[in-house]
A and B are shown apart, each in its own frame.
Chain A
Amino acid sequence: MYTSVGLSTEKDPNLAAKEAARIAVNNMRGERIDLAIAFSSIDLAYPILMKVLSASLGHVPIIGSSGAAIISNQGIHKHGLVVMLLSFSSGVYFNTAFVREIKAKTSLNAGRELGEKLLSGFKDIRRVISITFSDGLMDEGSNFINGLQERLGKSFPLAGASASDNMRFLKTYVYFNQDIFNDGAVGLILGGKLNFGLGIKHGWKPLGKPRTVTKAQGNVVYEIDGQPAVRIYEEYLDRNITQLRKELKRISILYPLGMYLTGEAEYLLRNILSIENNGSMRLQGNISEGSLIRLMIGTKESCLEATLQATQEAKVGLSSKLAVFETKKMNNFALVFDSISRYMLLRRDAERELEIIRKGLGENTPLIGLYTYGEQAPLMAVSYQGQAYFHNQTVAILAFGG
């Protein structure tokens, strides 16, 4: 396997695509390009970006998405395009697919459709992992994962990122070959002789007394401890609904709800998307009735500690060697899906987080990533049998070797 990365911070999508492609192709040193992964800031998300990128890379398969900021070995870029080119060793198989019009199809059906498309022609191959990028403003992201898992298998490793924009929550895009679109998702399935390690952590800590979800459906929580759900925020933050709505973005990121899952080291976090007049709250990800929940709080230190743990987990996973290689032409690379919440919390220390990841994986390991509106990854506890969940506020580090 061989990888290379090209970065451009040009403001013009046409120039950015050309520059990033040129650098990445040069770094490939003539190796065959099998697949490209591309992330760009929202200001470059125009059809011309992918048209030019696809043409510049000789129309190889491309998947990717827009992000509030993009990540490369060189740092965090609020404006730019980063492209990773992959040349797989023999014995590695992959397939890419997309699904559009999720709203019309429902998240569940869209998940099923993407799963089916990914599996087509992949029947007799040892499947390793699937990676997806989806519209960050999709409702019921959990259902999308459920749909995917119905087709790919409940315990099949699944990692993904929700596309994001510049914190306006107006429009996010996913990239597939030479197209860009919203209200859709794209996926990649990898199989054969390939190793990977995944670490996902957030670092938020529970605060206050545990409460029980007494009425909930899908991603809407109606009542907590028999009272309107919003009461928990009114109480803790000493603000009424109007005030809460005004500061919702910040509140939701700094103090999400945490769902207790037996056997998991960390609570599963849920951001609040909106507060309804009846006091119910729409969450980014599902929540089930009877769940034990807490209000969560994060600090820069706990956040960075979690990053270190996630990096270690990814490394441990990678070294467990699912596949053995005879060839010496091995190369590691990594993808980082970092929640925009962490960027909001860490602010000027965001580069420190990237530094931890880079040091942990080895300075020279090529890595690209993006800031997301949600991360999808399996839970580690045995009782969940590696089933993927929709996460908020985490950093997901996906390291590959082979």
Chain B
Amino acid sequence: MDNPKVISDIIITLLVIINILALAGLAIALFFKINKVTELQKITDKLNRSLEEMDGQAKLIVRTDMELNKTQEELDKKIAGLYALQSLSRSLSTTLEESQIFKRITNAHLEELGFEKACVFLWNERDNRFSIHLSLGYLEDEGYIIKSFVDSEQDKYLDLITREKTISSTSLQQNTQIDKQKLSHVFKINAFVISPILPKEEKKGLLFVGTENMDVAITAGDEELITILANQIGQAIENSRLFEKTWRAQQELEKKVEERTRELTSVLEEVKTISKRKTNFISSVSHELRTPLTSIKGYAAILLEEKLGHLPAAVKERLAKINLHSDELVRMVDGLLDIARIESGRVIMRMEGQDLREIIAKTSDLIMIQCKNKNIDLLTEIKGTLPPVVADRTQIERVFINLLGNAVKFTPEKGKVSIHAQIKDGMVQIDISDTGIGIPAESISLLFEEFYRVDNDVNQQVKGTGLGLSLVKHIIEAHKGKIWVESRLDKGSTFSFTLPVLK
């Protein structure tokens, strides 16, 4: 009766127990699951943290990389600029013509420097205005616009030259004289550098470079590079001017030398013509004189011999004078004829080997009487052996007689006349020295001129033609020798001449 209830109670109890057990199991399972999730969460957090950390590192890497790239870009730009500058410098330094300087600057150079447009203006002081010498990256009409813009503001640009300062779109302050906006517009650029070109003398100017590139900002490095380039251009202009000056001076000098040479040549020709005319004149006049002189002398002689009748003493005396003066005139005419003949080459020199000792001995003999009369010592001194000389014997004897005669004539009593002969510089040199009255310095240069006679006591007393030394000079020169004189007043003179050695 109670059994079914008990059984059902037991079943219920059992079910409760089972339920409790299941719940407990579930609770335990849940507990483990929760644990695992927490653990996974931890791992995920850890991974996420690592990822974030790595991402943070990535950011650092990117930023560093960005800076590095920028630096490298700047460095590359500089290296390229320096290369361009170096090659430009080399090219500019070898330029000696101003017009060539600007032709050497090319678009390629400019591009390496980071620009694509360039102009050069040089100030022309004569015209008081700028002239454009280089225009790269501009069309012709753009060049005109730029030129008229610079002209309209020339004072501002001249000021830049005066201040010797490089400016750029970066360094140019607002509110300064030069309007950056206007300049950029006219020159069609976004960034620019303007640097003065300063050769030492005139024609200073400005180098302008620019780029349209909106990304370019001019750095201090760019300004430096362009300043160096402007200096190089200035230097090249200076070099070219110096070169031109030197070249011009040389050209002028050469021209002058040429002119003078031409002048001298024509004068020489004239002198030769005159001299020839003179010789001809003397020659013909002398011939014309000789014939009547001979007649005069002949008639005087006939009269003197009294063949035509007795003559009073006074007439005889006058006739003797006529005779004497006629003789003098004949000597003079002969001398002139000799000189004229030698000058014109009409005298044929018989050039032969001659022994100078013989000639000296002969002429010394001839002069000896005069020496004795004046009690003058005549010495001959010959150093070593003398080779034979090439000479016309008769003419050379005339030279000796003339010079020795002069020496004796101008040497006071008890004086000394000496003859020296020696080999010198491949020629035989003969010196005839005396202890005479000497020749004043101012007369020496005229001594060998025709009809020149030194103004001294001896010459006033003794008559002469003034042709002797001139004749001597002509004879020596016809022998390709030289003649000169050294003299001291009251001490004596030395006449020296040279003759060629027989080979």
Once A209-B51, A250-B69, A348-B76 are accepted as A-B contacts, the answer to whether A237 and B215 lie under 8 Å apart by CB is: no
**Interface residues on chain A, number (Cβ under 8 Å):** 22
**A298 to B261 CA separation, bound complex (whole angstroms):** 80
Question: Within 8 Å of chain A (Cβ to Cβ): is B73?
Answer: yes
- Chain B residue nearest to A235 (CB atoms) is B59
Once A78-B111, A297-B65, A347-B72 are accepted as A-B contacts, the answer to whether A207 and B58 lie under 8 Å apart by CB is: yes
Question: Within 8 Å of chain A (Cβ to Cβ): is B66?
Answer: yes
Question: Within 8 Å of chain B (Cβ to Cβ): is A124?
Answer: no
Check if B213 sits within 8 Å of A168, measured CB to CB: yes
Question: Within 8 Å of chain A (Cβ to Cβ): is B54?
Answer: yes
Within A231-283, which residues are at the interface with B (CB < 8 Å)?
235-238, 249-251, 254-255
Check if B58 sits within 8 Å of A236, measured CB to CB: yes
A315: min CB distance to chain B, Å: 32
- Chain A residue nearest to B58 (CB atoms) is A208
Check if B65 sits within 8 Å of A295, measured CB to CB: no
Within B63-89, which residues are at the interface with A (CB < 8 Å)?
63, 65-66, 69-70, 72-73, 76, 79
Check if B63 sits within 8 Å of A237, measured CB to CB: yes
Check if A207 sits within 8 Å of B62, measured CB to CB: yes
A56: min CB distance to chain B, Å: 24
Question: Within 8 Å of chain A (Cβ to Cβ): is B181?
Answer: no
Question: Within 8 Å of chain B (Cβ to Cβ): is A103?
Answer: no
**A402 to B111 CA separation, bound complex (whole angstroms):** 41
Question: Within 8 Å of chain A (Cβ to Cβ): is B55?
Answer: yes
Supplied contacts A209-B52, A209-B55, 10 more A-B pairs, CB within 8 Å: A11-B107, A78-B111, A168-B214, A208-B59, A235-B59, A236-B59, A249-B215, A255-B62, A297-B61, A345-B69
Check if A209 sits within 8 Å of B54, measured CB to CB: yes
Question: Within 8 Å of chain A (Cβ to Cβ): is B98?
Answer: no
A398: min CB distance to chain B, Å: 30
A245: min CB distance to chain B, Å: 12
Provide the A155-190 mask, 1 if CB < 8 A to any CB of B, else 0. 000000000000110000000000000000000000
B59 CB contact (under 8 Å) in A79, A238, A254, A348: A238
Sample 25 A-B pairs with CB under 8 A, ordered by A number. A11-B107, A78-B111, A79-B107, A79-B108, A167-B213, A168-B213, A207-B58, A207-B62, A208-B54, A209-B52, A209-B54, A209-B55, A235-B59, A236-B59, A236-B62, A237-B63, A251-B66, A254-B65, A254-B66, A295-B58, A297-B61, A297-B62, A345-B69, A348-B76, A348-B79
- Chain B residue nearest to A233 (CB atoms) is B62
CB neighbours (8 Å) of A347 from chain B are 72-73, 76
Question: Within 8 Å of chain A (Cβ to Cβ): is B212?
Answer: yes
Top 5 nearest A-B pairs (CB, nearest first) are A208-B58, A207-B58, A209-B55, A236-B62, A208-B55
Could you tell me the dominant secondary structure of chain B's interface residues? helix
**A209 to B215 CA separation, bound complex (whole angstroms):** 31
Interface residues of A (CB under 8 A from B): 11, 78-79, 167-168, 207-209, 235-238, 249-251, 254-255, 295, 297, 345, 347-348
A38: min CB distance to chain B, Å: 22
**A236 to B64 CA separation, bound complex (whole angstroms):** 11
**A225 to B399 CA separation, bound complex (whole angstroms):** 131
CB neighbours (8 Å) of A297 from chain B are 61-62, 65
- Chain A residue nearest to B108 (CB atoms) is A79
CB neighbours (8 Å) of A235 from chain B are 59
- Chain B residue nearest to A300 (CB atoms) is B72
**A255 to B62 CA separation, bound complex (whole angstroms):** 8
Once A11-B107, A254-B69, A347-B76 are accepted as A-B contacts, the answer to whether A295 and B62 lie under 8 Å apart by CB is: yes
- Chain B residue nearest to A209 (CB atoms) is B55
**A254 to B61 CA separation, bound complex (whole angstroms):** 13
CB neighbours (8 Å) of A255 from chain B are 62, 66
CB neighbours (8 Å) of B63 from chain A are 236-238
A391: min CB distance to chain B, Å: 22
B65: min CB distance to chain A, Å: 6
**A63 to B72 CA separation, bound complex (whole angstroms):** 37
CB neighbours (8 Å) of B73 from chain A are 250, 347
**A348 to B76 CA separation, bound complex (whole angstroms):** 8
**A78 to B52 CA separation, bound complex (whole angstroms):** 44
CB neighbours (8 Å) of A236 from chain B are 58-59, 62-63
**A250 to B73 CA separation, bound complex (whole angstroms):** 10
**A249 to B73 CA separation, bound complex (whole angstroms):** 13
- Chain B residue nearest to A207 (CB atoms) is B58
Of the listed residues A207, A249, A251, the one surrounded by the most CB atoms of chain B closer than 10 A to its CB is A207
Check if B55 sits within 8 Å of A237, measured CB to CB: no
**A167 to B216 CA separation, bound complex (whole angstroms):** 12
Of the listed residues B65, B70, B79, B107, the one surrounded by the most CB atoms of chain A closer than 10 A to its CB is B65
- Chain A residue nearest to B52 (CB atoms) is A209
B134: min CB distance to chain A, Å: 16
CB neighbours (8 Å) of B72 from chain A are 347
Once A168-B212, A347-B73 are accepted as A-B contacts, the answer to whether A237 and B111 lie under 8 Å apart by CB is: no
Provide the B318-357 mask, 1 if CB < 8 A to any CB of A, else 0. 0000000000000000000000000000000000000000
**A345 to B213 CA separation, bound complex (whole angstroms):** 19
B367: min CB distance to chain A, Å: 96
**A297 to B76 CA separation, bound complex (whole angstroms):** 20
Check if B69 sits within 8 Å of A207, measured CB to CB: no
**A224 to B69 CA separation, bound complex (whole angstroms):** 27
B47: min CB distance to chain A, Å: 11
A220: min CB distance to chain B, Å: 23
B503: min CB distance to chain A, Å: 73
**A168 to B212 CA separation, bound complex (whole angstroms):** 9
CB neighbours (8 Å) of A209 from chain B are 51-52, 54-55, 58
Of the listed residues B55, B76, B107, the one surrounded by the most CB atoms of chain A closer than 10 A to its CB is B55
Provide the B202-214 mask, 1 if CB < 8 A to any CB of A, else 0. 0000000000111
CB neighbours (8 Å) of A238 from chain B are 59, 63
CB neighbours (8 Å) of A11 from chain B are 107
B219: min CB distance to chain A, Å: 16
B123: min CB distance to chain A, Å: 30
A94: min CB distance to chain B, Å: 37
**A251 to B66 CA separation, bound complex (whole angstroms):** 8
**A208 to B58 CA separation, bound complex (whole angstroms):** 5
CB neighbours (8 Å) of B65 from chain A are 254, 297
**A348 to B108 CA separation, bound complex (whole angstroms):** 16
**A297 to B72 CA separation, bound complex (whole angstroms):** 16
CB neighbours (8 Å) of B76 from chain A are 347-348
Provide the B382-416 mask, 1 if CB < 8 A to any CB of A, else 0. 00000000000000000000000000000000000
**A250 to B67 CA separation, bound complex (whole angstroms):** 11
Provide the B118-153 mask, 1 if CB < 8 A to any CB of A, else 0. 000000000000000000000000000000000000
CB neighbours (8 Å) of B215 from chain A are 249
